[in-house]
Amino acid sequence: MGKSRIKIAVFVLCMIACFSVLAVSCEYGDLELFESLNNTDEIESEESIDEEVYIGSGEFFLELKEKQENKKPLSDINIRKAIFYAINREEIVSELFGKYNKVLNSLFSENSYFYYPSWSEYDYDINKAKDYLSSAGFSTDNPLYITIGSRNNNSKYQIIEEMIKEDLDKIGIKVWVFNKPPEEWCPDYVVKGNYELGLWSIENYYGDDLNSMFNSNKLPSHETEENKNCLNFYWYSNSNIDRILSRITEEKDKDEKKDLLKQFQDVLAGDAVVLPLYSRLYSIAYNKEKIKKLEVDIRDNRVFYDVDSWRLAEEESEMIIGCEEKDCGPFDLFEPNFIKDLLIEGLWEINEKGEYEPVLVEESSIDSSGEAGVVVRVLLKDNIFWENGDAITSEDVEYTYDTILQDEGITGIDEDYSKIEEIEVINEKEFNIVFKEYFENWEKLFGIVLPIGVLEDVDIYDFNIEDVMASGRYKLSESSSGEYLLMEKNEFYHEESPEVERIIFLFDADINNLIGMLREKEIDLLNVPFDLELITNLEEDEDIGLLIQPGDLMEQLAISLKPVED
């Protein structure tokens, strides 16, 4: 038998051994990844087997890793920077998205007001990568052994892992890939810091969660009843970062906040703790003959159509939107939802800078001079109505939020509701928000207003669209469970009406059916999953337009800096 065939046979045997190790995996040293394997009698001598073949064995890889003197090599910034320079992010993005996406060099999408390309310094440079790794004492002749992991049900992550593995091998870093089911990956590995390199996404449009993710006081081990939302799964600690985050939390001026977030990203990039890869893409296919102007907004991992900006072809007045769902069903009044938001308006809404702008409110002022604590005095706009022409009043606001504040199960959705004492009605247009404890961005709690009595026989978590009394741009005209919804313009809407007279939502859980309906012009608009082959195919159809836009979910390579003693 030739030498090459011997190597192949050995490789197969080693892979079998590897799978056996994974099947009985348990705690492995401080990483808690695999069982420590010391039965070297079963391993043939390195002199008799080519190491390149034998490295395919998980058992052998972990033994080499265990021999490394530094059990936390990623604590060395030279190694972290070597990794960042060695990864060809352009190739990763091209492989996954072709021409439709690009490398992200910020913690914010390029559409965000707070975008700043602090990670552009880490453009692919294999020579820099080798130099940094050499400074840490490693090279292709003296390799470093580390692991990378993600949840095992994401095909894109698996592609990224293999490409990173190949990139790092070129400079002298050997990588073992370990993936876990989602129910294990997050709580057992990410949260506990039991990984070295990890892949997951973070949502970060306004920057409000950065303190929870990177403040040294927000390590998971510091979680208490008083110190909640400890999401620093990087186990990262930098006193300068803590000071910047404290200033960001207190800053009200959005331009000043923008500058602070630039500083924050520059420091974080310099410390090489997290490497942004790309923004997750959202793709909308539409009938080009009918829709002449289309704009969307991506928020909370959802597509929101900017209906006010839509322009249709001459003499067209109706839009048919395909929805990849079985039915509209009950919706959560506290969560953003495009269909719900066309019908129901709140007192304030958030803009792209993270500022709260009034919707149903004319003006508000803060009064902290009284003995009862902080009171916000609110004046509603004139000429705001429900779909039946009845005025929206302070009593409606009081009813809505008394219902929320008095239900312990409901207030659990946001602990800040518990900081409000009551809604105090002054007259039909004026009311006070009385605080037990004042906090910034309290406007976030007032995203809905419902008419008096609507919640008498309805659980707020099972609120059906048929129960809605509209205050928004549209009102529900007709519906058929599991089939469609028909909305028409609300004649009592307080702002200028949109151009589109009617919107029909067609429900079908089979995306292939919906794509076929779009091709046949039976529907006008469809949010399609981003699949490179599908998108390329749709682009070839002259009757179909595509709007592809990055959202506020950022895919990243994370590094765990959890110390050995933890």
Q: Which CATH number does the domain housing residue 360 bear?
A: 3.90.76.10
Do residues 305 and 360 share a domain?
A: no
pLDDT of residue 66: 86
Do residues 435 and 477 share a domain?
A: no
Return the closest-CA partner of residue 526 out of 542, 508, 501: 508
Do residues 340 and 404 share a domain?
A: no
Encode burial over 506-525: b for 16+ CB neighbours within 10 A, e otherwise: bbbeebeebbebbeeeebbb
Q: How confident is the model at residue 418 (pLDDT cuts 50, 70, 90)?
A: confident
Rounded CA separation 18/13 (Å): 9
Rounded CA separation 216/364 (Å): 36
| H or E, element range at 62 | helix 58-66
Pure H helices in 121-253:
126-135, 155-169, 182-184, 210-214, 239-250
Q: What is the DSSP letter of 27?
A: -
Q: Which residue has the higher pLDDT, 513 or 351?
A: 513
Residue 32 predicted with pLDDT over 70: no
Q: Which residue has the higher pLDDT, 355 or 184?
A: 184
Return the closest-CA partner of residue 463 out of 473, 448, 477: 448
| Mean pLDDT value across residues 318-344 | 88
Which CATH number is 180's domain given?
3.10.105.10
pLDDT of residue 486: 96
Highest-scoring range by mean pLDDT, 40-44, 47-51, 358-362: 358-362
Residue 423 predicted with pLDDT over 60: yes
Return the closest-CA partner of residue 404 out of 495, 355, 332: 332
Do residues 363 and 377 share a domain?
A: yes
pLDDT of residue 370: 61
Residue 305 β-bridge partners: 296
| Mean pLDDT value across residues 197-210 | 88
Indicate the number of domains in the chain: 4
DSSP reduced 3-state for 284: strand
Residue 375 predicted with pLDDT over 50: yes
Return the closest-CA partner of residue 157 out of 23, 278, 57, 26: 278
Do residues 103 and 124 share a domain?
A: yes
Residue 183 maps to a domain: yes
Containing structural domain, residue 501: 290-344+462-542
Q: How confident is the model at residue 56 (pLDDT cuts 50, 70, 90)?
A: low
Rounded CA separation 284/221 (Å): 42
Residue 411 predicted with pLDDT over 70: no
Rounded CA separation 498/490 (Å): 10
Rounded CA separation 136/72 (Å): 12
Residue 564 maps to a domain: no
User: Pairing relation of β-strands 502-507 and 484-489?
Assistant: antiparallel
Which amino acid would we find at residue 432?
N
Mean pLDDT for the chain overall: 87
Q: Which residue has the higher pLDDT, 171 or 563?
A: 171
Residue 33 predicted with pLDDT over 80: no
